[in-house]
Structure 1
Amino acid sequence: MAFSKGPQAARITSTDVARAAGVSRATVSFVLNGTSTARISEETRSRVLAAADELGYVPHAAARSLRAGRSDLILLPAAVSATGRLFSDWVDDMETALGERGYTVVLHGNRSPDPVTAARAWAQLRPAAVLAMAPNSLTAEAVQVLAQAGTTAVLTIAPEPMPGVFTLLGDQSDIGRVAAEHLVSRGRRRIGVLMPTERGLSAFAEPRLAGIQRVATVHGATVTPLPMPYGGEAASALAVLCRELGLDAVFGYNDEYAALLSAALNDHGVDVPGQIAVVGADDLLLAQIVRPQLTSVRYRLPAADLIADTVDSLINRGTAEPLPSVWFEPVPRQSS
């Protein structure tokens, strides 16, 4: 049976709202765009908002962006949301905090490994700000691409300040360093490092591996990278491999991967931590629920409201106060 669309509803415009409220289109624009410089009475503002609500008027974001010279979009590359529960919760908090300040958070699916190619894809949306929180996701040329597109705020996490970028200081390798220092302090010298094979995670996993390798070199420990997709069968196969390699510890990338591997080790009769200690990262609630409880590396980001204020300040004033650095600390539990 052929499908046919029903009658199309007439598009409601700002002119309709102006006519219903008995005001000019300019007044409607001032009210609906929240223009603080316009001197409009509360009675008029209320009348415009009521008319817009009654008519079901929705402002045209693209047209508003053209008038303002920029959008109210805050773009987060999707790699951020793929890094685990800690970051997905953080993204949710950021969406709320930025939404309260009049911005819309958009997760962008382009995960090109080339920063310039990625920046060009992001720039097509003309975002007001980009929160490129994955390591090595920006270069000077990529930042220039965004600036030329009108993006006024670019934030990232990096070990060192980046020119033209508001840099939240934090080094992913410190997560590996903290985990390795904990393990060697417990006498572990044959350390496996779980390396997720999912797209986008190598940007986080590789610096963590490097941090572990630096500590291992100092203490005469060995390090074995262990690629693993997130899944039960893969964890089971890796558990067998860990036993065959004679490892006495595994850093599990984060709590989710570490808990999966810990369960698989237990299924194969490997005592955790008696034979193999397991350490995760992010200090999720999951780490306290599983048995044995999972030793983790706590990862502290500045509060979402503080970052949202920083983004807003960068967009509207071009400057902002420095944010506290990201820091990490071990949380010892039963698995190590």
Structure 2
Amino acid sequence: MPPEQRPTPHITSADVARAAGVSRTTVSFVLNRTPSARISETTRAKVLAAAEQLGYVPHAAARSLRAGRSDLVVLPASVSAMGRLFSDWVDELETALGSRGYTVVLHGDRSTDPVTAARAWAQLRPAAVMAMGGARLTPEAVQVLAQAGTKAVVTVSAEPVEGVFTLIGDQADIGIAATEHLIARGRSRIGVVMPMERGLSAFAEPRLAGARRVAADRRAEITPLPMRYSDEAAAALAVLCRELGLDAVFGYNDEYAALLSAALADCGVAVPEQIAVVGADDLLLARVVRPRLTSVRYHLPGADLMAEAVDRLITGGSPAPLPRIRFEVLPRQSS
């Protein structure tokens, strides 16, 4: 067989041990970040250098068998629908969990049935599941995960979820904050963008409910505005906003709000003089567009605090409650 067709040899921990001049046990301690093992920094550096040079990749399943538990933390793909700010926090969380020896896996299943979704997650036998949309978790779903050996189930929800470590944060508060700001600026006919893309209604509906709650007490009028994320949809909605006589729009998030704000300008509607616009997530985009976009910012607990809580749950500890997620309006030119 020609050399270029020969299979690449399988690199094992024994190869790493030989290259580093240490035992396989030492390699295991270093690569698995075993906290109880006393390994000098010099030895640790030699092992890591040898592993990198050889291209060694630890076998996750074998490592889980040795440890007696999985090191996987599953994040359902719904986290990607919660906005860039939240996604950035998830990136930081992945780093913090990785430093504690866990592997974060983004799971693509988007079943709307909580038990079906839980069964899909449970097939990976994860140590933890962070289902950041509380509506997807029911006692039956939590039981499915428990029977699969999952030690920690974490979610974000407006109220504590039974059997789940709950990070308290209500999407309705975003709609409340945006609407209160607009009413304080003298607006009373407020449209609320409702994205039509898959997976976003779980976040848009509570935001609309929050806006309606405020409007009912303040004699303001709320109009839901279904919109796809496209230039054409934004252009059509801008015309509709003018025809309806709206004087403000809460754009769901900064991306939809910026798209609509540009469309309003294109059809001759002055922002904010005729229609004020508010987004959410406080993306860089909000400060780049003109007029600069008023936005609602999340204040999330530190990713390291969250990772510590997950680690404690997995290892049988009792984590302290985390601070509630807060939301703050950052006024800019668009309102």
Query: How high is the TM-score relative to the length of structure 2?
Result: 0.91
Task: Give the secondary structure class of the aligned counterpart of 2:322.
Answer: coil
Name the CA distance, whole Å, in 2 between partners of 1:57 and 1:279: 50
Deviations along 1:86-109, whole A, 9 cap, x unmatched? 122222222222222222221111
Indicate conservation of the 8 Å contact 1:156/1:166, yes or no. Answer: yes
Partner residue of 2:114?
Answer: 115
Name the CA distance, whole Å, in 1 between partners of 2:76 and 2:168: 19
When residues 222 and 148 of structure 1 are mapped into structure 2, their CA distance, relative to the original with a 3 A threshold, is: same
Indicate conservation of the 8 Å contact 2:128/2:150, yes or no. Answer: yes
Name the CA distance, whole Å, in 2 between partners of 1:164 and 1:73: 20
Indicate conservation of the 8 Å contact 1:135/1:204, yes or no. Answer: no
Task: Give the secondary structure class of the aligned counterpart of 1:154.
Answer: strand
Partner residue of 1:173?
Answer: 172
Partner residue of 2:240?
Answer: 241
Shift of 1:33: 2.2
Deviations along 1:242-296, whole A, 9 cap, x unmatched? 1111111111001111011011001000111222111111122222222222122
When residues 53 and 268 of structure 1 are mapped into structure 2, their CA distance, relative to the original with a 3 A threshold, is: closer
Partner residue of 1:71?
Answer: 70
Identity among equivalent pairs (%): 75
Deviations along 1:217-250, whole A, 9 cap, x unmatched? 1122221111111111110011011111111111
Name the CA distance, whole Å, in 1 between partners of 2:27 and 2:69: 20
Deviations along 1:30-62, whole A, 9 cap, x unmatched? 443233345667776666555544543322111
When residues 258 and 14 of structure 1 are mapped into structure 2, their CA distance, relative to the original with a 3 A threshold, is: same
Name the CA distance, whole Å, in 2 between partners of 1:49 and 1:252: 48
Shift of 1:12: 2.2
Task: Give the secondary structure class of the aligned counterpart of 1:298.
Answer: strand
Give the alignment of 1:253-264 within 5 angstroms: 253-264=252-263
Task: Give the secondary structure class of the aligned counterpart of 2:129.
Answer: strand
Name the CA distance, whole Å, in 2 between partners of 1:12 and 1:335: 58
Partner residue of 1:319?
Answer: 318
Indicate conservation of the 8 Å contact 1:21/1:51, yes or no. Answer: yes
Name the CA distance, whole Å, in 2 between partners of 1:126 and 1:58: 20
Task: Give the secondary structure class of the aligned counterpart of 1:317.
Answer: coil
Task: Give the secondary structure class of the aligned counterpart of 2:174.
Answer: helix
Partner residue of 1:201?
Answer: 200
The answer as to 2:102 corresponding to 1:99 is no
Name the CA distance, whole Å, in 2 between partners of 1:332 and 1:158: 27
Name the CA distance, whole Å, in 2 between partners of 1:28 and 1:271: 65
Stretches of structure 1 lacking an aligned partner (at least 5 in a row): none
Partner residue of 2:212?
Answer: 213
Query: How high is the TM-score relative to the length of structure 1?
Result: 0.91
Name the CA distance, whole Å, in 1 between partners of 2:274 and 2:311: 51
* Partner amino acid, structure 1, of 2:293: L
Give the alignment of 1:151-300 within 5 angstroms: 151-300=150-299
* Partner amino acid, structure 1, of 2:313: L
Name the CA distance, whole Å, in 1 between partners of 2:114 and 2:63: 29
- Could you tell which deviates more after superposition, 302-311 or 210-219? 302-311
When residues 24 and 284 of structure 1 are mapped into structure 2, their CA distance, relative to the original with a 3 A threshold, is: closer
Name the CA distance, whole Å, in 2 between partners of 1:41 and 1:61: 25
Shift of 1:176: 0.5
Indicate conservation of the 8 Å contact 2:33/2:101, yes or no. Answer: no
Name the CA distance, whole Å, in 2 between partners of 1:278 and 1:65: 50
Partner residue of 1:85?
Answer: 84
Name the CA distance, whole Å, in 2 between partners of 1:287 and 1:41: 48
Name the CA distance, whole Å, in 1 between partners of 2:246 and 2:227: 16
Stretches of structure 2 lacking an aligned partner (at least 5 in a row): none
Name the CA distance, whole Å, in 2 between partners of 1:45 and 1:256: 45
Deviations along 1:9-47, whole A, 9 cap, x unmatched? 221223444555666544543443233345667776666
Name the CA distance, whole Å, in 1 between partners of 2:283 and 2:292: 11
Partner residue of 1:62?
Answer: 61
Shift of 1:128: 1.7
Indicate conservation of the 8 Å contact 2:134/2:161, yes or no. Answer: no
Name the CA distance, whole Å, in 2 between partners of 1:44 and 1:332: 54
Name the CA distance, whole Å, in 1 between partners of 2:37 and 2:296: 50
Indicate conservation of the 8 Å contact 1:135/1:203, yes or no. Answer: no
Name the CA distance, whole Å, in 1 between partners of 2:20 and 2:328: 58
Between the two proteins, the alignment pairs up a number of residues equal to 332
Task: Give the secondary structure class of the aligned counterpart of 2:106.
Answer: strand
Name the CA distance, whole Å, in 1 between partners of 2:229 and 2:117: 26
Task: Give the secondary structure class of the aligned counterpart of 1:322.
Answer: coil
Indicate conservation of the 8 Å contact 1:81/1:91, yes or no. Answer: no
Name the CA distance, whole Å, in 2 between partners of 1:125 and 1:40: 31
Task: Give the secondary structure class of the aligned counterpart of 1:280.
Answer: strand
Partner residue of 2:148?
Answer: 149
Task: Give the secondary structure class of the aligned counterpart of 2:315.
Answer: helix
